[in-house]
Structure 1
Amino acid sequence: MDGQRRILVLGVGNILYTDEGVGVRCVERLERDYEFTPNVTLLDGGTLGMRLMDALLNADTAIVVDAVLGGQTPGSIYRCTGDDLRKSLAFKDSMHQTDLVDTLIYCDLLGNRPECVVLGIEPHDYQTMAVELSPLLSERLDDLAAFALKEIEAAGGGFKPRQRLHAEA
């Protein structure tokens, strides 16, 4: 890819628990609404944990989108890097966050840990079993996607809005 940075946008979370799946829903929105340059890969990481290792080893930059309990009001958006990363990813009893931190540590041991940023949003409801986001986070999804687009651009990726048919409105 002619020296371009390989950017992985990873949506994680369990879509069966309302706002817990916001990272996956954000990646779905990005895939639906934008076309990306070849150096950008979007991936629904769900709750895959260690099975994400190959994708992470092949990335220079990883942008992880997830629900994060940061203590602010629901809908607040966070950007976490460095030491804040472990705190942001280890926030609850869900398996995928801890697995992701461990996976990044293993990538480090193998000598190719991508630069990583977590874009998190404070969930409103992450305990009710439902596949839809809460109304509050549904309203904030475009804002979260905009934050992800800024990170993609800052990392050296490009995008353009998809051409939409008028009948899709």
Structure 2
Amino acid sequence: MVLGIGNILLGDEGVGVHLCNQLQHNYTFSGQDLDFMDGGTMAQALIPWIVEYDQILLLDCVSVAGAGVGEVFCFDFENIPSNITWAGSAHEVEMLQTLKLTALMGDLPPTTIIGLIPKIVPDNTTFNLSPAMLEGAQTAKAKALEILQAWGVTATPKPAPLDLQGIANNSYRIAL
């Protein structure tokens, strides 16, 4: 990972990680340095990495009252809409706290968040993404590519792309 310059696409919490992995696997990026990171459940442990970047694009799950599974919300961290609660899990609250703490220290680079509304899975955990989530992820991917283009990053599709469900099925096994 190159630190100190460029941009980072940070995947966090479930589908955000899968989407980050899909972009990394399916595209070649040029024009600006771009790193990918699975933020997983690292929370405050991410701060040393976060502060080294010029810009951050965070793919995450968010909670919004009245929103449906797969809906996509895009916003800058400095202007989090009041209806975004990030309250779906303890981890999501930790990510919000991590960003707030980094901002409080004056070290948070401009951060754009693409948030998807997840499907809350009951007792039977599965790697299968719902049709609504797959559709929302397509919208989120298009938005991520649009933001990266605005940052001066060119995305060129690679041959033999993997779909998001294929990434989800295998991302826990191997580094893509």
- Name the TM tier (shorter chain): 0.7 to 0.9
Deviates more, 1:155-164 or 1:54-63: 155-164
Give, in whole Å, the separation in 2 of the partners of 1:35 and 1:89. 34
**Residues 26 and 141, structure 1, Cα contact 8 Å, conserved in 2:** yes
Give, in whole Å, the separation in 2 of the partners of 1:114 and 1:127. 33
The equivalent of 1:9 in structure 2 is: 9
Give, in whole Å, the separation in 1 of the partners of 2:83 and 2:44. 19
The equivalent of 1:41 in structure 2 is: 35
Give, in whole Å, the separation in 2 of the partners of 1:86 and 1:26. 25
The equivalent of 1:16 in structure 2 is: none
Give, in whole Å, the separation in 1 of the partners of 2:93 and 2:82. 8
The equivalent of 1:18 in structure 2 is: none
Local SS of the residue matching 1:117? strand
Q: Indicate the structure with greater helix content.
A: 1
The equivalent of 1:26 in structure 2 is: 19
Deviates more, 1:57-66 or 1:103-112: 103-112
Q: Does 1:163 align with 2:159?
A: yes
Q: What's the RMSD between the two structures over aligned residues?
A: 2.4
Tell me how far 1:145 sits from its aligned partner.
Answer: 0.9
Tell me how far 1:64 sits from its aligned partner.
Answer: 0.9
Tell me how far 1:12 sits from its aligned partner.
Answer: 0.7
Tell me how far 1:110 sits from its aligned partner.
Answer: 4.2
Unaligned runs of 5+ in 1: 14-20
What is the aligned counterpart of 1:52 among 46, 55, 75? 46
Give, in whole Å, the separation in 1 of the partners of 2:84 and 2:154. 27
Q: Does 1:104 align with 2:99?
A: yes
Q: Residue 100 of structure 2 aligns to which amino acid in structure 1?
A: I
Tell me how far 1:109 sits from its aligned partner.
Answer: 4.4
Give, in whole Å, the separation in 2 of the partners of 1:77 and 1:120. 6
Tell me how far 1:146 sits from its aligned partner.
Answer: 1.0
Q: Residue 21 of structure 2 aligns to which amino acid in structure 1?
A: E
Q: 1:100 to 1:85 in 2, by over 3 A?
A: farther
The count of corresponding residues between Structure 1 and Structure 2 is 153
Tell me how far 1:85 sits from its aligned partner.
Answer: 6.3
Local SS of the residue matching 1:30? helix
State the TM-score, normalized to the length of structure 1.
Answer: 0.77
State the TM-score, normalized to the length of structure 2.
Answer: 0.75
Give, in whole Å, the separation in 2 of the partners of 1:58 and 1:39. 13
The equivalent of 2:134 in structure 1 is: 138
Deviates more, 1:154-163 or 1:59-68: 154-163
Tell me how far 1:103 sits from its aligned partner.
Answer: 2.0
Unaligned runs of 5+ in 2: 162-176
Give, in whole Å, the separation in 2 of the partners of 1:131 and 1:66. 17
The equivalent of 2:145 in structure 1 is: 149
Give, in whole Å, the separation in 2 of the partners of 1:107 and 1:100. 11
Q: Residue 156 of structure 1 aligns to which amino acid in structure 2?
A: G
Q: 1:44 to 1:85 in 2, by over 3 A?
A: farther
